[in-house]
Structures are given as C-alpha cells and as structure tokens.
C-alpha cells in the first residue's frame, strides 16, 4: 500500500470511468457512457492506476478483467458516487435560510424577517 496518496489527484470522472469499465468489461463501451473518446478514457484509466499505484484491470483480447484492486475501487466508487448524488439531492431539497436580513449600503437598513428567495428576488 502506498503511504502517501494525494487524494486531490482522484477525480470523479476517472472513478466513474472505472465503474463503467467494471460494469461493461470494455473500455470501448465505457468511454461513450462517460462522454469521453476512447483515447481520453484510456489515458484517464492509466492515470488513475498510476495515482493509486496499482493496476485496476487486466487488458485482455476480449476486454477488461478487473484485478482485485479494480473490484475494490469500482465497488467503493459506486458507493461514493451514490453518496454524492444523495448529497446533491439533499442540498437541493433543503429549505433556504430564514431570519432577519440587514442590508449594508452606507447605513444599516433592517429589511425584516424574510427568506433567501424573497431577498434575492428583491435584489
């Protein structure tokens, strides 16, 4: 196991690509599902493997076969991507802030109790 992994080098598109490769068994099939050219997808997969320091797939004539690490990364990436989808859905469903709003334009003016949508539509 690598002692120091720069997590900033892991991007969601590359993890999504790894998941699609795992699900389809083919980089050729996975690339368009991720809106990538085959060449771009191949390079992203190589970079992901380099950043992680382990091969994720065996390249075979018939397609891709996940290594043990590839299975682990793909399954955890599925969980991560589902969690991010829930995070976005929850954030969008959350009510906006409410309370007393003050406007500071030279002198402080109390606007009263409003919600964020009312304030934004008025300004």
Instruction: Please spell the DSSP secondary structure of 36-58, one letter per residue.
Output: --HHHHHHHHHHHHHHHTS--EE
User: Cβ distance 117 to 96 under 8 Å?
Assistant: yes
Q: What is the pLDDT of residue 98?
A: 67
Higher pLDDT, 83 or 109: 83
Residue 107: its pLDDT value, please? Answer: 56
pLDDT in tens, 50-90: 999 999 999 999 999 999 999 999 999 999 999 999 999 99
pLDDT surpasses 70 at 26: yes
Fold adopted by 7-93: Arc Repressor Mutant, subunit A (1.10.10)
Cite the beta strand spans of the chain per DSSP E: 57-60, 63-66, 98-105, 107-115
pTM: 0.74
């Amino acid at each position: 196991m690598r002692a120091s992994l720069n997590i900033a080098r892991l991007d969601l598109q590359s993890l999504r690509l790894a998941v699609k490769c795992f699900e389809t068994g083919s980089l050729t099939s996975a690339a368009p599902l991720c809106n990538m050219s085959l060449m771009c997808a191949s390079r992203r997969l190589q970079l992901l493997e380099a950043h992680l320091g382990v091969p994720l797939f065996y390249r075979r004539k018939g397609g891709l076969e996940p290594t043990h690490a590839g299975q682990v990364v793909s399954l955890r990436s599925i969980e991560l991507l589902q969690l991010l989808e829930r995070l976005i859905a929850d954030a969008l469903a959350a009510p906006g802030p409410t309370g007393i709003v003050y406007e500071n334009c030279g002198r402080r003016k109390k606007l009263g109790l409003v919600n964020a949508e009312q304030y934004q539509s008025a300004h």
